[in-house]
């Protein structure tokens, strides 16, 4: 406990010394979420993390999340220093969409508008017409459909499936998935729902379609928080990374949040839905990078210039 307190104290001090601001995702350790909020930074979803980093005056951004979040921050603010507690914190969607194969896929469908999820490398974004997050994917694809466009979608097939069903757009999918959300199971979720008949089910759209079909609310991390706040139910079953539980519980005292079942769940594993890469962010890592200014995110400038175009489109669309 005292080591934790000392690290937090050190981080608060170093943020001031370095004129730095913290940006944390809802999935990272509660300490990193709370510190961001207490120190005038942001804890949010991937869309608002991108916007906040771009708009904030601080010259150093410390991004607690996964690699694509740090890269997006750097692409949007090439003049700023972007640090991350652990540069190896990647994402299965990013890993599952290597740029050369993805480019070849795009080349073989030149008639399609390329829409990629933010959970991709800078190189993949540079090949896209649009970048989206789960906060705006449905609206962007709907707008493109109304312009008569056919879509090439990458990399998350489950989010793509959800967007396709919501919009009816003509979409061709890359077959990627999130190793965390892919583990939620519809059969077990049905059983849990039967045990809690008044519970409402909140599902992130990276989950499989049969899990999404059981949801009372489907959306990005911030959309799920909003739904939990606005719905009058007392009990909620939540199908997303369990890092979200901290925020859900602290913003909704009196409501009960239960983790949706995953295939890996057992008596010894009460919290299986945890992104291994988000979990790489730690207080010690954060203190270390602030002290040494190591772990700086770099993106090739030419690549960055190209990747910025579809990211800017997303930020303008959602402004």
Residues that bind ligand 13P (CB under 6 A): 45-47, 119, 133-135, 178, 206, 220-221
Give the list of residues 6+ apart from residue 262 with CB closer than 8 angstroms, or none. 183, 184, 185, 272, 273
Shortest distance (Å) from residue 177 CB to ligand SF4: 8
CB of 6 to ligand SF4, least distance (A): 29
CA atoms within 13 A on the CB side of 254: 4
Q: Does 66 bind ligand SF4 (CB under 6 A)?
A: yes
Q: Which residues of 88-116 are buried (b: 16+ CB within 10 A; e: fewer)?
A: ebbbbbbebbebeebeebbeeeeebbbbb
* Complex with ligand SF4: residue 168 or 264, whichever CB lies closer: 264
Cα angle: 220, vertex 28, 115; to 5 degrees: 35
Give the residue, chosen from 64, 113, 119, 242, that forms a contact with ligand SF4 under the rule CB under 6 A: 119
* Ranges within 261-290 binding ligand SF4 (CB under 6 A): 275, 277-278
Q: Strand order in 217-218's β-sheet?
A: 217-218, 200-203, 235-239, 256-259
Tell me which of 92, 134, 167, 220 binds ligand SF4, using CB under 6 A. Answer: 92
Residue with smaller CB distance to ligand 13P, 7 or 257: 257
Distance from the Cα of residue 202 to its chain's centroid? 16
Write down the least CB distance from residue 196 to ligand SF4, Å: 24
Question: By rule CB under 6 A, what count of residues binds ligand SF4?
Answer: 14
- Of ligand SF4, ligand 13P, none, which one sits near residue 92, judging by CB under 5 to 8 A according to partner kind? ligand SF4
Cα 71–chain centre separation:
13
The residues of the shown chain that bind ligand SF4, judged by CB under 6 A, are 66, 91-93, 119, 178-181, 206, 241, 275, 277-278
């Amino acid at each position: 406990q005292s080591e934790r307190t000392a690290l937090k104290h050190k981080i608060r001090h170093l943020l001031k010394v370095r004129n730095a601001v913290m940006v944390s995702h809802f999935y990272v350790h509660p300490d990193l979420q709370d510190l961001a909020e207490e120190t005038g930074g942001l804890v949010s979803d991937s869309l608002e993390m991108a916007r906040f980093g771009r708009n904030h005056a601080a010259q150093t951004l410390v991004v607690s999340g996964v690699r694509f979040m740090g890269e997006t921050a750097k692409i949007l603010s090439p003049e700023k220093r972007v640090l991350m507690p652990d540069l190896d914190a990647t994402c299965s969607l990013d890993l599952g969409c290597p740029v050369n194969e993805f480019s070849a896929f795009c080349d073989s469908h030149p008639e399609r508008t390329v829409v990629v999820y933010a959970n991709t490398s800078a190189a993949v974004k540079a090949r896209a017409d649009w970048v989206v997050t789960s906060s705006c994917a449905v609206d962007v694809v709907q707008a493109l459909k109304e312009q008569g466009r056919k879509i090439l979608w990458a990399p998350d097939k489950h989010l793509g499936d959800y967007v396709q069903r919501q919009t009816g757009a003509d979409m061709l999918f890359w077959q990627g998935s999130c190793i965390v959300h892919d583990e939620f199971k519809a059969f077990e979720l049905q059983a849990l729902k039967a045990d809690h008949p008044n519970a409402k089910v909140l599902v992130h759209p990276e989950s499989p379609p049969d899990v999404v079909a059981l949801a009372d609310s489907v959306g990005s991390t911030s959309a799920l928080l909003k739904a939990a706040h606005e719905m009058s139910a007392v009990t909620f079953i939540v199908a997303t990374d369990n890092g979200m539980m901290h925020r859900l519980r602290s913003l909704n005292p009196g409501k009960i949040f239960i983790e949706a079942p995953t295939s890996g769940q057992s008596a010894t594993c009460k919290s299986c839905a945890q992104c291994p890469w988000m979990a790489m962010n730690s207080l010690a890592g954060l203190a270390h990078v602030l002290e040494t200014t190591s772990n700086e995110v770099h993106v090739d400038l030419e690549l960055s210039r190209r990747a910025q175009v579809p990211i800017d489109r997303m930020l303008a669309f959602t402004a």
